[in-house]
Structure 1
Amino acid sequence: MKNSTTVKMLMLFGLSTVLWSCRKDKSVTPEEQVQLPGQGVTAVNGLYILNEGNFGSNKASLDYYDYATGVYRRNLYGAANPSVTLGLGDVGNDIKIYGSKLYVVVNGSNKLEILDVKSTKKLAQVDIPNCRYVAFYKNKAYVTSYDGYVGVIDTASFKIDTKITVGRQPEDLAVVGDKLYVANSGGYSSSDYERTISVINLTTNLESKRIDVAINLNRLKADQYGDLYVTSRGDYYNIKSNLYVVDTKTDAVKKKFDIEASTFTLDKDFAYIISTAWSNVTMSTVVSYSKINVKDEIVVAGGFIKDGSEKDIVMPYGIAVDPISSDIYLTDAKDYVSPGALYCFDKTGKKKFSVVTGDVPAHLVFYTK
């Protein structure tokens, strides 16, 4: 009887805690604005920044830098969608624009949020377990799920048409021609990582082959010459992270760069790479910045920050390059639990400005006219 009473008391306590949490979460964080230098009138309206928020904190958020006015706005989603009780959700993992809609992958909340790109008002939600990244092809959105598949979503009805089986714990994905390439990680199996890229025929939505690359693949992007750049995270101990190139004409690995790479972005003839590798020698994180000429496939000496500003960046986390000006935008996650920062460098590597963001700023997308 005593145990039964104790259980009931714990259940009541748990219920009251949940109810209190829900009430607390209903409060809407107001939008904040900061004035920054404007970029003038260009083909780019501005830049969306998706803040991951620390896992389990339910603090994913959306910021926007308006090029014309120079205004930096924080917490757009909360202000535009005050009736959404839990806000954007837990761990924003990817953000893309397709047509007039903004697609936000929220990993911890197991959902794809679809927003109006101008107002950021919520239009729909598609539930996908442990979703990771999104890509598009002919009015379909392709979303990777750690459950071992790619969900195919109709961008008009917001319904899942089909699920394409790929490798274990798929991560980033990219479309080249009529093929979809998916980086498989096997991230849940540290003793038996996946090491392949799944190749999907977008006419049939079936996996046609797998390309052997390296263990624990993660980020994947296609350059303008049809080559794929893909990162391997290694095993976090003996095998270091690395960057590989896959020729999509032959679907074979053509080059290994032997540089550590956590994430990267591509702009015209260049790849901009950041690495935050843990050193078991110094028991600390070693940060590095690299730049590659993708046309010639050679490493450019000296990285891409040229004015010494890297000393101010604690934990580089996300990166994007303006498609018109080639300005470089780099996020700093700092300690992963407090507000981060966004840095802007011009194409010569000199700092233009920085601004405080939400927690763990990670993913960026340019909103073009």
Structure 2
Amino acid sequence: MKTNFYNFRALFLALVAAVAFSSCSKDDGPGQLPEIRSGFYILNEGNLNANNASLSFYNFENESVVADFFAQKNGRGLGDTGNDIQIYGSKMYIVVNASNTVEVVNAKTVKSIKQISFVDQQKQIGRQPRYIVFNKNKAFVSAYDGTVSVIDTASLVIEKTITVGRSPEAMAIANNKLYVANSGGLDYPNYDKTVSVIDLSSLSEIKKIEVAVNPGNVTAGVNGKIYVKSTGNYGDVKPTLSIIDSKTDAVTSSKEFSGSSMTVVGNKAYFLKSGGVMEYDLLTDAVVKENIITDGTAIKIPYGFSYDNVTGEFFVCDAVSYSGSGIVYCFGKDGKKKYEVKAGALPGAVVFLNK
């Protein structure tokens, strides 16, 4: 009986090891293990043409913040204008707009794996990458030259470049389609007003959907809906929130709506606004709270918003000024400040690191 017990134990451990090994596949996507946070990264955009984009790291264990974390780990700066940051699998991707690069690093050590160039070699001009999203083993990067590039997350090679609308910004995925907000921002005042739809099977644009002027933020929400936040022309055309049904690609709703940026969490959306963050119910299409901050904490220049789905905490990035250091505030579910972290210049995004 004892021999059988140890044989069974050995077999069990072998099966556990096999499962663990199989989880490390070529498709470098998110794992299924429970999420336990070790800290978070802050992408500090920096000032345009100042070459001072940076990465900060806040450690939950010792409640300390490390500034210029990327530079410390790699002996060089991050570059000019950090615009987006995402963790996918074991890698972290940092989109550096004016430097025309996507930095790919080990998510835990921040050691560089590869710097992907976004320079059009034929035209010898920078593509100006903006945002990044993921689907299966592909990364999709929008760029101001009117393209979305497809990167294989295993080889980190750009496999294809898809032409979309003018000055594309944020992207969202629903029903095996990629929705790309074409702002036309570089053609001011002649803005674009379309959302490109890319079929994720053929990796080609299949249509453009007309929305309000200057769409910049697009997010997938409940029931297959796509929410598009358009800024307008900063004059007589006001900001607008449009809703697209991803099953039919029809615009089902469009209304004037204030608030910048947009983050969807379940049935709620959160919009940056003067002094704080607005909460909006997507099911009733109504404002729930004009400001989720309940303790009077003043946000001078709201510059970024993140939600931790593990802890239920809200993180608000405050640029404070457009020249000095910024602050990231952590708020609990009750809207009260739990702590604040000193950041670099123009903190714009927070991403959470698991143990």
Matching residue of 1:321: 307
CA distance in 2, matches of 1:243, 1:306: 26
Matching residue of 2:68: 75
Match of 2:55 among 41, 54, 62: 62
Matching residue of 2:46: 53
Please tell me the root mean square deviation across aligned C-alpha atoms, in Å.
1.7
TM superposition shift of 1:117: 0.1
TM superposition shift of 1:303: 2.4
1:140-219 residue pairs with structure 2 within 5 A?
140-219=138-217
User: What SS does the aligned partner of 1:225 have?
Assistant: helix
- What is the TM-score with the length of structure 2 in the denominator? 0.84
1:258-277 residue pairs with structure 2 within 5 A?
258-275=256-273
The answer (yes or no) to whether the contact 1:293–1:299 under 8 Å persists in 2 is yes
The answer (yes or no) to whether the contact 1:101–1:117 under 8 Å persists in 2 is yes
CA distance in 2, matches of 1:105, 1:211: 26
Match of 1:362 among 333, 348, 354: 348
The answer (yes or no) to whether the contact 1:242–1:261 under 8 Å persists in 2 is no
Matching residue of 1:225: 223
The answer (yes or no) to whether the contact 1:266–1:321 under 8 Å persists in 2 is no
TM superposition shift of 1:109: 0.1
- Structure 1 window deviating more from structure 2 (169-178 vs 54-63): it is 169-178
TM superposition shift of 1:42: 6.2
Matching residue of 1:122: 112
Matching residue of 2:277: 289
In the alignment of these two chains, the number of paired residues is 314
CA distance in 2, matches of 1:42, 1:154: 25
Provide structure 1 residue ranges, at least 5 long, that are not aligned to the other structure: 1-40, 277-286
The answer (yes or no) to whether the contact 1:51–1:362 under 8 Å persists in 2 is yes
The answer (yes or no) to whether the contact 2:238–2:256 under 8 Å persists in 1 is no
Matching residue of 2:295: 307
Match of 2:80 among 85, 90, 93: 90
TM superposition shift of 1:326: 1.6
CA distance in 2, matches of 1:355, 1:118: 20
Q: Which amino acid aligns with 2:40?
A: L
TM superposition shift of 1:257: 4.7
TM superposition shift of 1:119: 0.4
User: What SS does the aligned partner of 1:47 have?
Assistant: strand
User: What SS does the aligned partner of 1:194 have?
Assistant: coil
- What is the TM-score with the length of structure 1 in the denominator? 0.81
TM superposition shift of 1:158: 1.4
Query: Residue by residue, what CA displacement relative to the aligned partner does 1:73-128 show, whole Å, maximum 9, x if unpaired?
Result: 2211011011x3xx100000000011100000000100100000000011101111
The answer (yes or no) to whether the contact 1:318–1:331 under 8 Å persists in 2 is yes
Fraction of identical pairs, as percent: 42
